[in-house]
Amino acid sequence: MKTKNFLYSQKTAPYIFALPFILSFLIFWVYPLVSAFIMSFQDIGAITVDWVGFKNYGKLLKDKVFHTAMINSFEYMVFTCALLIPFPMLYAVLMDGNLVKAKGVWKALLYLPALTSVVISGTLFRLMFSEYKTGQMNVLLTMLGLPAIKWLKTKWTSEIALLMLCCWRWTGVNTLYFMSGLKSIDKSLYESADIDGATGWQKFKYITIPLIKPTTIYVLTISIYAGLAMFLESFMLWAGNDSPKNIGLTIVGYLYKRGIQKDDMGYACTVGVVLLLIALVINFIQLWLNGSFKKEER
Amino acid sequence: MKKKLLSTLLCGVLAASMLTGCGEVETSDDTGSEAVEESADDTAEEAEETESADATEESSEVEPDAVTTEGDPNGTHMEMWSFVEAHNTFYAKMLEKWNEENPDRTIEITFTTYPYGDMHQKLLMSLQTGEGAPDICDVEMGQVPNVYEGLDTWLYPLDEAMSPYADDMLASRLAAYQGSDGQQYGAPFHVGATVMYYNMARLEEAGITQEDVDAVVTWDDYTALGEKYLEAIGNEEGKYFTSVDTGGTDWLWIAMAEYGDDWTGGFDGEANVQLDSVKNMLTMQQEWLNSGFAEVSPDGHIDLEAGFQNILDGNIVSFPKAMWYMSRFINYMPEEEGNWYITKCPVFEEGQNCSVGIGGTGTVVTQQSVDTALAADFLCYAKMSPEGETMIWNDLGFDVCNTSLWSDDSFAHDESNQYNTFFRNYPYDVLNDISDQIGTIMTVKISPTINEYVCNTTLNEVLEEGMDVDEALQELQDAVDLEQ
């Protein structure tokens, strides 16, 4: 009788239905987070676990490789945000208007790269940007009469390769986000703007951009996180976690290197906690600047 | 009642969907396992001697490449892991012999081959948690510090089991697989002694004879010989005497062994990389690069596809490498048969040691084994007995550690062994010649840090960008000091 009451109670039902999520949230999210936080204060050896206080954090301050990784991730994040928001927005607007023919084809073409695996595309880009004369990019350069470049051995050329891989892969996805955002804008606004004699640019500036802001904020937030957490692209481009002078090392790459490759979980957790803090701070600032914390205007 | 059933069912569906959700998380991680397959090819090709520096192919998903069960089904059942299928094939053959010779102590083993990164990761996890480790497991040199860190809590010491063979084994090689407590935890496959490979066919075309090559004692002699060669071929563009590595530490290890240095400082010492030996080698290489005597190995080191092609194209005609590089000739450069001559490495000053053991696999018995003593006995029999060593030489082509065989004519001069006939001279003749000159650089906790920084940064700075050697080494020392 009691179980029956329990199961049919209006109060418990929501919790029971939410239970799968709550459980997976606790087990796969809260527990690792708390445990990583604790481990970041420990030196975890083969058999022994020592409490070392802030030693790992102190080491992180002096660790030049970590600084390089942080700068790399940060630069990548900034560049991807700068490229992956304006352009997809532009494409979405173009495809929403009447200027473009065969929209379905363009949509499919833009979206197609997102369906490939990073592993395969990373490998392809590695071959394309190979330092030999036979690599596609060097063939192009030779055709233009320029000397071949060791693409993946210097900082800025490898940055180009990484950004190209990233844009090729994600432009379609972001375009899709913006297109769905555009669909929610009331068409009558544009009509009344037309009647008032607004130009295309004015419509874009005063109607599209403000009304698409929620989508922009969402895309920006995930782009910041994705940029900071990038790992696989660089891992595949250099066929591993080692690149000349660490030009391809990212924060997550460094975390993986420390935790898995060097079996130093304590220090790796410190790196992870710092990454979390950085991502949180940047996103809070960004959301605050965008006014997301203000009360909804009604 | 019906409603109750329905709600139970619903809950069941919810729980199931949650679990499948979890499952999907794992499979969506597939990108990882593809990375494994991708890198598995690489590592399989690289066979076993991936140095820690280039042994970076890692991934999260674990998918065995091959699983086989061999031996006596009525015997003690054991598990064995390796990262090279050829190793497991070898152990399986030795298992058959063992069971024939020890009918009262027969064994059945399930052999599993995993990709390099996965296997070591899985092994470390199982040792840490005290559950799921195999009875016997291959451990690559670069991973030795991680695995041996658990000493006899994790691993079973082999000292007793190897006692019948220990006297014949090369002591410096055994030392490489000891724990910080002085106990033997790993059984070696090979010495990995460094020697000099010369493309005699091309040198002869340039008028250089085998006697000229034999007359080389110091690096100065070597440089002079190379200049003579380059002059003879008219300083042709794209042709060099040798190539130097930005992605491997072999050259530096040779330099250290020659001066009797060790940058790790051993188990108790502090690591110091600002050694004269290292400086001399890097300075010499910089000069070579400036004068067009040497080039930087394509892709960083010579044990890669690009390196093999470079050799086949005749772009370089000599290089120092461990003895196990012989198998690369057999597997990737068969058309070079009869062209190459193996001899000892030059030294900086006459009278120095001329070789160092590089790479290797220290196979361990874990404390989780069902029968540690039996596993250790079998392992030592397979990897240290004369029968085992003969098979290692014939099947895997390694320079074995059992020195008693080196001068055994039926072993070292056996014409049915392809390694004996491929080169202009018998590899073991060279090995015998340098047997008391093979040094060891310890692989300890700090080693991966040094190797990684040297291969990623220092060598690129010095050899690609021409940075001052002292400055680059100071930077390296700072990075190393952070870890000790």
| B120-134, B143-157, B212-226, range with greatest mean pLDDT | B212-226
Instruction: Please report the pLDDT score of residue B62 as a whole number.
Output: 58
**Are B48 and B359 contacting, i.e. CB atoms less than 8 angstroms apart?**
yes
Identify the band that residue B2 occupies on the pLDDT scale cut at 50, 70 and 90.
low
Higher pLDDT, residue B79 or B305: B79
**Are B83 and B362 contacting, i.e. CB atoms less than 8 angstroms apart?**
no
**Are B127 and B156 contacting, i.e. CB atoms less than 8 angstroms apart?**
no
Kindly list the distances between the CA atom of residue B8 and the CA atoms of A5, B4, B72, B303, in Å, as whole numbers in the listed order: 14, 6, 50, 61
Mean pLDDT along residues B236-254: 93
- DSSP assigned state of B181: T
Instruction: Please report the pLDDT score of residue B3 as a whole number.
Output: 61
Identify the band that residue B40 occupies on the pLDDT scale cut at 50, 70 and 90.
very low
Kindly list the distances between the CA atom of residue B125 and the CA atoms of B119, B129, B154, B360, B403, in Å, as whole numbers in the listed order: 10, 6, 11, 22, 36
Nearest one of B118, B173, B177 to B151, comparing CA atoms: B177
| CB-CB neighbors (< 8 A) of B24 in chain A | none
| CB-CB neighbors (< 8 A) of A263 in chain B | 124, 146, 149
Identify the band that residue B31 occupies on the pLDDT scale cut at 50, 70 and 90.
very low
Which pLDDT tens digit goes with each residue over B340-357?
Answer: 999 999 999 999 999 999
Distance between A284 CA and the closest CA of chain B, angstroms: 28
Tell me, yes or no, if A18 comes closer than 8 A to chain B by beta carbon: no
Mean pLDDT along residues B445-459: 90
Checking if the pLDDT of B208 tops 90, the result is yes
Identify the band that residue B53 occupies on the pLDDT scale cut at 50, 70 and 90.
very low
Point out the residue among B35, B151, B456 whose CB comes nearest to the CB of A243. B456
Tell me, yes or no, if B146 comes closer than 8 A to chain A by beta carbon: yes
Checking if the pLDDT of B29 tops 60, the result is no
Distance between A180 CA and the closest CA of chain B, angstroms: 25
Identify the band that residue B11 occupies on the pLDDT scale cut at 50, 70 and 90.
low
Instruction: Please report the pLDDT score of residue B5 as a whole number.
Output: 61
Indicate the fold that domain A57-289 takes in CATH. Answer: MetI-like fold (1.10.3720)
Going by their DSSP bridges, the two strands B242-244 and B294-296 should be labelled as parallel
How many residues are present in chain B? Answer: 484
Mean pLDDT along residues B297-305: 87
Mean pLDDT along residues B218-239: 93
**What's the burial of B18, exposed, middle or buried (CB within 10 Å: 0-12/13-18/19+)?**
middle
Go through B56-92 and write b for each residue having 16 or more CB atoms within 10 A of its CB, e for each that does not.
Answer: bbbbbbbeebeeeebbbeebbbbbbbbbbebbbbbbb
What would be the CATH architecture of the domain defined by B66-191+360-405? 3-Layer(aba) Sandwich (3.40)
Instruction: Please report the pLDDT score of residue B142 as a whole number.
Output: 85
Distance between B34 CA and the closest CA of chain A, angstroms: 7
Instruction: Please report the pLDDT score of residue B57 as a whole number.
Output: 39
Please give the share of chain B, as a percent, with pLDDT higher than 90: 58
Identify the band that residue B115 occupies on the pLDDT scale cut at 50, 70 and 90.
confident
Cα angle, residue A215 at apex, residues A214 and A216 outer, rounded to 5°: 90
Point out the residue among B38, B154, B482 whose CB comes nearest to the CB of A123. B38
Mean pLDDT along residues B405-426: 89
For chain A, give percent helix, strand, coil, nearest 5.
75, 0, 25
Instruction: Please report the pLDDT score of residue B8 as a whole number.
Output: 61
Instruction: Please report the pLDDT score of residue A89 as a whole number.
Output: 93
Point out the residue among B30, B56, B117 whose CB comes nearest to the CB of A242. B56
**Are A118 and A232 contacting, i.e. CB atoms less than 8 angstroms apart?**
yes
* Residue of chain B whose Cα is closest to the Cα of A236: B35
**Are B316 and B263 contacting, i.e. CB atoms less than 8 angstroms apart?**
no
Which residues in chain A land under pLDDT 70? 1-2, 7, 295-298
- Structural tokens at position B464: 């690609």
Instruction: Please report the pLDDT score of residue B56 as a whole number.
Output: 37
Higher pLDDT, residue B45 or B160: B160
Mean pLDDT along residues B213-241: 93
- Structural tokens at position B238: 């794209």
- DSSP assigned state of B174: H
Which residues pair with residue B155 across a beta bridge?
B366
Identify the band that residue B14 occupies on the pLDDT scale cut at 50, 70 and 90.
low
Instruction: Please report the pLDDT score of residue B408 as a whole number.
Output: 86
Tell me, yes or no, if B30 comes closer than 8 A to chain A by beta carbon: yes
Instruction: Please report the pLDDT score of residue B258 as a whole number.
Output: 95
Q: Could you tell me which residues come within 8 angstroms of residue B168 by beta carbon, excluding any fewer than 6 positions away? A: B384, B402, B403, B404, B405
Nearest one of B447, B459, B458 to B483, comparing CA atoms: B447
Which pLDDT tens digit goes with each residue over B184-205?
Answer: 999 999 999 999 999 999 999 9
| CB-CB neighbors (< 8 A) of A120 in chain B | 34
What ipTM was reported for this prediction? 0.76
Which H or E run contains A31? helix A31-39
| CB-CB neighbors (< 8 A) of A20 in chain B | 14-15, 17-18, 21
| Domain locations in chain A as residue ranges | 57-289
Which H or E run contains B77? strand B76-82
Which pLDDT tens digit goes with each residue over B88-106?
Answer: 999 999 999 999 999 999 9
Residue that has been written with the tokens 């502090």 in this structure: B270
Kindly list the distances between the CA atom of residue A90 and the CA atoms of A213, A221, B222, B438, in Å, as whole numbers in the listed order: 14, 19, 63, 66
Indicate the fold that domain B194-356+440-481 takes in CATH. Answer: D-Maltodextrin-Binding Protein; domain 2 (3.40.190)
Point out the residue among A117, A232, A242 whose CB comes nearest to the CB of B456. A242
Strand stretches in B149-281, DSSP E:
194-199, 242-244
Nearest one of B241, B449, B348 to A257, comparing CA atoms: B449
Instruction: Please report the pLDDT score of residue B463 as a whole number.
Output: 93
Q: Could you tell me which residues come within 8 angstroms of residue B30 by beta carbon, excluding any fewer than 6 positions away? A: A117, B61
Common-topology check for domains B66-191+360-405 and B194-356+440-481 = yes
